[in-house]
Amino acid sequence: MDAKKKSVMNDKPFYIERPLYLQRIMPFVGKDIMKILVGQRRVGKSYLLYQLMDRISSLDSQGQQIYINKELHEFAAIRTAEDLIAYVDLHRQSDRSLYLFIDELQEIDGFEKALRNFQAKGNIDIYGTGSNAKLLSGELATYLSGRYVEIKVYGLTYAEFLRFHTLARGRESFKAYLKFGGLPYLRHLDLKEEVVFDYLRNILDAILLKDIVSRYDIRNVSFLQRLTRFLADNVGSLVTARKISDYLKSQKIKVSHNLVLDYLS
């Protein structure tokens, strides 16, 4: 690839700003500490990166930005830490400060080695996102050992939900928020149960099957799904592994409370 090829997105998709997160991240811009956005799938981490890229461009118009999105085919060759280092070295312009944005860090084997290498070289401001169990389990502290700040990203607040859907504050909009939740992509869908619930069901399956089941090599997938539904039906209630086990036995499902405890964790 031509080393002079610009490696920052020229045509970012339309987005609605989320000042709540920008205000938390901006104090760390330009500081010698990595900024890592973590959260479940589809809460808007990628779009926060786009917002940061624009904000930083307005602050440092002479800085260079390199953007890598592991969900795009053009970055498929970046599989390991060595690949990432080679890509950045190839595109970096030594006479300019560099802002590095990496979407879906966990898709690069040994990504932490590359990030530590970049930080040691200096003059590289690093931003990344991660969404699977590997980055949600607290292991970043082991990988990056104090060299980063973790920003946890969640679905939309009620105020954000109103802004995203151009709704007025009131009983009906609050009921819609409670029913459908705050995943940002819902702004592109009709807020109807038959539409939204299909989308949300697919997100749930992706989290359970791709993130949790594959990560922990869970064998009893059907029980995990039953347990998830049970917990969702009992939000706001105190539950214990033994009570859940006793309930399941009443439903002719024999599962030890120790297994329930493992699956709850």
How many Å apart are CA 228 and CA 134, to the nearest integer?
20
pTM for the complete prediction? 0.86
Q: Calculate the alpha carbon distances from 255 to 73, 224, 228, 229, 245 in Å.
A: 43, 11, 15, 16, 6
The gap from C-alpha 32 to its chain's centroid, in whole angstroms, comes to 22
**For residue 176, what are its two tokens?**
């819609």
* For the chain, domain boundaries: 19-152, 158-217, 220-265
**For residue 173, what are its two tokens?**
């909009």
Give me the phi and psi of 188, to 5 degrees please.
Answer: -90, -5
Q: How confident is the model at residue 210 (pLDDT cuts 50, 70, 90)?
A: confident
Edge-to-edge strand order for the sheet containing 98-103?
64-69, 98-103, 124-130, 34-38, 148-152
- Per-residue pLDDT reduced to its tens digit, 147-176: 899 999 999 999 999 999 999 999 999 999
**Residues whose CB falls within 8 Å of the CB of residue 259, separated by 6 or more in sequence, listed in order:** 220, 223
| Per-chain mean pLDDT for the chain | 89
Q: Mean pLDDT over residues 48-52, rounded?
A: 97
Q: Mean pLDDT over residues 254-259, rounded?
A: 85
**Which residue has better confidence, 133 or 2?**
133
How many Å apart are CA 221 and CA 128, to the nearest integer?
31
How many Å apart are CA 216 and CA 21, to the nearest integer?
31
The per-residue pLDDT for 171 is: 98
| Maximum separation of any 2 CA atoms in the chain, in Å | 70
Q: Give me the residue label for tokens 């002079």.
A: 4
The per-residue pLDDT for 4 is: 37
- Per-residue pLDDT reduced to its tens digit, 66-118: 999 999 999 999 999 999 999 999 999 988 999 999 999 989 999 999 999 99
Q: Side chain identity at 244, as an amino acid letter? A: I
- Per-residue pLDDT reduced to its tens digit, 20-41: 999 999 999 999 999 999 998 8
**Among candidate residues 79, 119, 113, the one with its CA nearest the CA of residue 98:** 119
- 166 burial (CB, 10 Å; 0-12 / 13-18 / 19+) is exposed
**Among candidate residues 117, 106, 129, 123, the one with its CA nearest the CA of residue 82:** 117
How many Å apart are CA 108 and CA 225, to the nearest integer?
29
Q: Calculate the alpha carbon distances from 241 to 166, 255, 256, 263 in Å.
A: 42, 10, 9, 9
How many Å apart are CA 164 and CA 16, to the nearest integer?
7
CB 118 within 8 A of CB 126: yes
| Domain 19-152 superfamily per CATH | P-loop containing nucleotide triphosphate hydrolases (3.40.50.300)
Q: How confident is the model at residue 11 (pLDDT cuts 50, 70, 90)?
A: low
The per-residue pLDDT for 135 is: 63
- Per-residue pLDDT reduced to its tens digit, 123-145: 899 999 987 666 655 667 777 87
